[in-house]
A and B are shown apart, each in its own frame.
Chain A
């Protein structure tokens, strides 16, 4: 195991994190909030010190590493960044308990948006900004950012692919252009562009600058931390619709945007995952809107709330405009299912991913055909291209790991004595990086009531959901730690 290289990457990640804390620090200074300023100052200094120490220790590391080092590196980086990222909350006294602060920060970086705070508006603005910014950074990936700016890969080194693969969501991670660094840059440029566009549209609707930036960060990362206690409910219908549209946009595979830029429209239109994603969203909105007839004053309002909530849940953002926990059971059932479906692979969204569902449905059809005609030879195709059996095998494994984690977490979380609905939706909402669940963890409630063990389980669930399970599961594997 190339620990030196892993340490070196950690050092770089921490430096990046320290730099990204500076805007929050400036906001605290500007507001004259001395406690928060001090908290950020200490954290930045501590982070920089750790980074410097690691840099010294891991000088001259050989730059090659294998798949297992990539997986290990990604998961431990996320953990370390979350631990340091939660310190401002602890130091400033906004969230005194360390485990609560960690929950909040992991929820931020994994773009979950599950909170333990009952009064968000009481937080200093610097901390609010940091919370929302963690969504934005976590959405596209911290390591992808590092890949875009830092000289991680050697001259002819393909090993950085392991990092991208471990951090990017989806069954089929590929490069857009030959160079990893270029790919990472293109992804981030697209991401920044879309975020700026979102901010502009929010400003046009009359939202204050600070609110716009934080909301856009939450939307872009499909995170869902609001800066108001009632999430998005207090904003005008126009702003809510802007959020709906941008949430859906950020749930689309970023490769599609790249293809659009290359003017390969046909490839985008024919993308099977995108088609399923759009179909699911439209069907979800239609079903929920029909079910909600008469609940709201006008049909326009009904559709607006239905569209907002369906997009918010499906893209795993987790904003809310209404308390959907009060909706009829059918609508809640639809939302619960959409929690699992999730967004597209290669987007900032979480969940099981439409792409995997497409693959599983096709594999299922093949299995049924094989039962009927055992001699028939079939190859699963997606977007007209044959899919490698290895990808299918990974998808089956992912499904079983996914179900296993949901079951185990559900049982452990149930120890705290909340209702079945609360526990189950809490696990789904955290594991799929959504945020609000139903009942006791509904959109107007929070996760503060859960015990330490449950919170720890949910923290692991959030990380596992964001990093696509395997980088977390490998910690439990024997062969991971054996000498090679």
Chain B
């Protein structure tokens, strides 16, 4: 499949890496020759230099043979124009545009119709939604939802005092008093697919599948206090901050935003009348304590500098803030950060590109395709949601009689409104939603790929 990526910036580069690894034919367009050279050195792609909204450049990139165009330059209007032009040249083309200006948010669905976009993505808004989901269930480091929100995979970190420390997995359900499944354990930087005799240790990060309605019971029985988050401090007043504050305020939370630039403060104060906008440097401890950091239920660091975010998060941890979320622009240092108490990390760029990769895979395989794909355990494992249809093999056969590929785990099965954590006797039938967790090298495109 031929894919054109217009704009070789942060998101563009991440997409290039992921999509070229999956074996697609990529053409990258950018106006900057240096950026293109870097991509050419790193990946097996074609590069076209020029304005991605101009017909000439698009034709040069062979838009007529392409199946998908992803416009991810830093200007929304250029992205839209690029998609429109390309669509005019090749009406069968799927187009994805990055649209991040908050002023366009309300009209995003209309715009998709008007400009015949297949998908409009907004990294900042996605990041904000992700953070908001985390804040709604304080205690989990990460949440991914499946089967229209009925099942979740949540990430927990075990510390010295955890009730699960030194517990073999077959005793787990007795402790948490609901049916859950540990699908992946991240220990010392490696993802392990555990079996019933696997013993959990302090420092492990575990990924647990559970029906959504059991989440609060899970937290309660693990002894993780879930005080409802009501006071949130956001450091940095960028776009993510704005989206996040808007959603949190809608949920009735008390939101403080600390921003250094006075003009931006005024702008935020106009947009968010109910939030407290504080003008000052978020790295100043005096300011943070003046704003009552100690009494906050959550701290979210969203400045443009990863280093600053990490430092503020560390400081917040030392002040005993129960929940901390750190925004990172790049995940290169994720391994090192594992050892630091900076809470959950959210990377807008990654969220955005995994969203697109999900779309691309679904496009590639129209039947039996994955509904959603979430990368978990820092990208070392994937949770993939499939719809069981007529072409699916082994419908109605108990799982214990089936042979699966190594490193594949059936994490959950949803029959209609009932979500089940499967055991050996479980079966799936046409119409069910199945979540598969895989930590293997090979990519699972279809549900049938899981059978050995």
- Which residues of A come within 8 Å of B, CB atoms? 373, 375-379, 381, 384, 386
The reply on B278 being an interface residue by CB < 8 A is yes
* Complex interface bits, B267-280 against A, C-beta within 8 A gives 1, otherwise 0: 01110010011111
Which 5 pairs, one residue from A and one from B, show the smallest C-beta to C-beta distance? Answer: A377-B265, A386-B270, A379-B269, A381-B273, A377-B277
Question: B238 CB to closest chain A CB, in angstroms?
Answer: 16
A56: min CB distance to chain B, Å:
53
| Contact across chains for A378 and B278 when beta carbons are under 8 A apart | no
A428 to B273, CA, bound (A): 36
**Neighbouring A residues of B276 by C-beta, 8 Å:** 373, 376
Q: What B residues does A386 contact at CB under 8 A?
A: 269-270, 273
A residues in contact with B270, CB < 8 Å? 379, 381, 386
A373 in complex: contacting residue of B262, B265, B266, B278, CB < 8 Å? B278
Q: Are A376 and B273 in contact (CB under 8 A)?
A: no
B279 surroundings in chain A (CB, below 8 A): 375-377
Q: Is B287 an interface residue (CB 8 A)?
A: yes
Closest to B270 in A: A386
Bound Cα distance A373, B269 (Å): 15
- Which of B262, B270, B278 has the most A CB atoms < 10 Å from its CB? B270
- Interface pair B278/A384, CB less than 8 Å apart: no
A375 close to B273 (CB less than 8 A): no
Within 8 A of A (CB), among B231-280: 262, 265-266, 268-270, 273, 276-280
In whole Å, how far is B183's beta carbon from the nearest beta carbon of chain A? Answer: 46
Q: Please name 17 pairs of A and B residues whose Cβ atoms are closer than 8 Å in the assembled complex, sorted by A.
A: A373-B278, A375-B287, A375-B290, A376-B276, A376-B277, A376-B278, A377-B262, A377-B265, A377-B268, A377-B277, A378-B269, A379-B266, A379-B273, A381-B270, A381-B273, A386-B270, A386-B273
**Cα separation A384 to B273 with both chains bound (whole Å):** 8
Query: Using an 8 Å CB-CB cutoff, how does the interface string of B147-191 with A read, 1 for contact, 0 for none?
Result: 000000000000000000000000000000000000000000000
Q: Is the CB–CB distance between A377 and B273 below 8 Å? A: no
- 12 new A-B contacts, CB < 8 A, other than A377-B268, A386-B270, are A373-B276, A373-B278, A375-B280, A375-B287, A376-B276, A377-B265, A377-B266, A378-B269, A379-B266, A381-B270, A384-B273, A386-B269
Question: What residue in chain B is nearest A386 (Cβ atoms)?
Answer: B270
A377 to B264, CA, bound (A): 10
Complex CA gap A375/B276 in Å reads: 10
Select which of B266, B269, B278 is within 8 A of A375 by beta carbon. Answer: B278
For A376, what are the chain B residues with a Cβ–Cβ distance below 8 Å?
A: 276-279
Docked CA distance A378–B277 (Å): 7
CB distance from B250 to the nearest CB of A (A): 14
A377 contacts which of B269, B287, B290 (Cβ < 8 Å)?
B269
State the total of A-B contacts with C-beta under 8 angstroms.
31
Residues of B within 8 A of A377 (CB): 262, 265-266, 268-269, 277-279
Write out the residue numbers on chain B whose beta carbons fall within 8 Å of the beta carbon of A379: 266, 269-270, 273
Question: Chain A interface secondary structure, helix, strand, loop or mixed?
Answer: loop
Q: Closest Cβ of chain A: how far from B272's Cβ, in Å? A: 9
Specify the chain B residue showing the minimal Cβ separation from A362.
Answer: B273
Cα(A192)–Cα(B276), bound, Å: 46
Cβ–Cβ < 8 Å partners of B265 in chain A: 377
A379 to B279, CA, bound (A): 13
| Bound-state Cα–Cα, A378 to B270, Å | 8
CA distance A376 to B272 in the complex (A): 13
Smallest CB–CB gap between A385 and chain B, Å?
A: 9
Closest B residue, CB atoms, query A384:
B273
Q: Which residues of A contact B278 (CB under 8 A)?
A: 373, 375-377
Given the complex, which residues of A lie within 8 Å of B266, measured CB to CB?
Answer: 377, 379
- Give complex CA distance A357, B94 in Å: 55
Within the complex, what minimum Cβ distance (angstroms) separates B408 from chain A?
52
CB distance from B281 to the nearest CB of A (A): 10
The CA of A469 and the CA of B122, in the complex, are separated in Å by: 51
Question: Which of A373, A376, A377, A386 has the most chain B CB within a 10 Å cutoff?
Answer: A377
User: Which residue from chain A places its CB closest to the CB of B287 in the assembled complex?
Assistant: A375
Q: How far is the CA of A379 from the CA of B262 in the complex (A)?
A: 12
Could you tell me the distance in whole angstroms from the C-beta of A72 to the nearest C-beta in chain B? 35
Closest chain B CB from A105 CB (angstroms): 46
Cα-based distance from A267 to B173 in the complex (angstroms) = 54
Name the residue on B nearest A389 (C-beta).
B266
Q: Which residues of A contact B290 (CB under 8 A)?
A: 375
Cβ–Cβ < 8 Å partners of B269 in chain A: 377-379, 386
Q: Bound state CA distance, A381 and B278, in angstroms?
A: 17
Cβ contacts under 8 Å, A381 to chain B: 270, 273
Residues of B322-349 contacting chain A, CB below 8 A: none
Taking the closest CB of chain A, its distance from the CB of B312, in whole angstroms, is 17
Assembly CA distance A375 to B262 (angstroms): 10
Q: Which residues of B contact A384 (CB under 8 A)?
A: 273
A379–B269 CA distance with the chains assembled, in angstroms:
5
B:285-338 near A, CB below 8 Å: 287, 290
B159 CB, nearest partner CB in chain A, Å: 35
In angstroms, how far is the closest chain B Cβ from the Cβ of A61?
A: 42
Q: Which residue of B lies closest to A380 (CB)?
A: B273
How close is B246's CB to chain A, nearest CB, in angstroms? 13
A370 CB to nearest B CB, Å: 11
User: Which residue in chain A gives the minimum CB-CB distance to B265?
Assistant: A377
Complex-state Cα separation, A436 to B287, whole angstroms: 56
**In the complex, what residue of chain A is closest to B274 when comparing beta carbons?**
A381
Determine how close the nearest CB of chain B comes to the CB of A248; give it in whole angstroms. 30
Contacts of B262 in A (CB 8 A): 377
Minimal beta-carbon separation of A384 from chain B (angstroms): 7
Instruction: Enumerate chain A residues within 8 angstroms of B277, measured Cβ to Cβ.
Output: 376-378
Q: How far is the CB of A375 from chain B (nearest CB, A)?
A: 5
**In the complex the two chains form, what is the Cα distance from A381 to B280 in whole Å?**
23
Chain B residues closer than 8 Å to A375, beta-carbon distance: 278-280, 287, 290
For B287, the chain A residues whose CB sits under 8 A away are 375
Complex formed: what's the CA distance from A106 to B265 in Å?
49
Binary interface encoding of chain B residues 188-221 relative to chain A, with 1 for a CB under 8 A from any of its CBs, else 0: 0000000000000000000000000000000000
Cα distance, A376 to B278, chains bound together (Å) = 4
A369 to chain B minimum Cβ distance, whole angstroms, is 8
B260 CB to closest chain A CB (Å) equals 11
CB-CB under 8 A from B273, the residues of chain A are 379, 381, 384, 386
User: What is the CB-to-nearest-CB distance from B98 to chain A, in angstroms, rounded to a whole number?
Assistant: 28
Q: Measured between C-beta atoms, what is the minimum distance from B231 to chain A in Å?
A: 15
**Residues of chain B lying within 8 A (CB to CB) of residue A378:** 269, 277
Closest Cβ of chain B to A320, distance in Å, is 42
CA distance A203 to B270 in the complex (A): 50
Alpha-carbon separation in the docked complex, A373 to B290 (Å): 9
B242 to chain A minimum Cβ distance, whole angstroms, is: 14
How far, in angstroms, from A121 to B407 measured CA to CA in the complex? 102
Residue of B nearest to A382 (CB): B273
Q: Mark B70-106, 1 if CB is under 8 A from A, else 0.
A: 0000000000000000000000000000000000000
A375–B281 Cα distance when bound, in Å, is 11
In the bound complex, how far is the Cα of B270 from the Cα of A386, in angstroms? 5
Docked Cα-Cα span, A247 to B279, in Å, equals 47
Q: How far is the CA of A433 from the CA of B268 in the complex (A)?
A: 41
How far, in angstroms, from A373 to B280 measured CA to CA in the complex?
12
Nearest chain A residue, comparing its CB with the CB of B264: A377
Look across to chain A and name the residue whose beta carbon is closest to the beta carbon of B278.
Answer: A375
A384–B280 alpha-carbon span in the complex (Å): 26
Q: Given the complex, which residues of B lie within 8 Å of A373, measured CB to CB?
A: 276, 278
> In chain A, what residue has the closest Cβ to B237?
A377
Q: Give the complex CA separation of A144 and B265 in angstroms.
A: 40
Q: Quote the shortest CB–CB distance from B164 to chain A (angstroms).
A: 42
Alpha-carbon distance A386/B287, docked complex (angstroms): 27
Report Cα–Cα, A378/B266, bound state, in Å.
7
Give the Cβ gap from B418 to chain A, nearest Cβ, in Å: 41
CA distance A356 to B268 in the complex (A): 24
Q: From A373, A379, A381, name the one whose CB has the most chain B CB atoms within 10 angstroms.
A: A379
- Docked Cα-Cα span, A472 to B262, in Å, equals 38
CB distance from A390 to the nearest CB of B (A): 14
Nearest CB in chain B: distance from A199 CB, A: 43
Of chain B, the residue at the smallest CB distance from A387 is B270
A379–B265 alpha-carbon span in the complex (Å): 10
Give the CA-CA distance A377 to B257 in the complex, in Å: 10
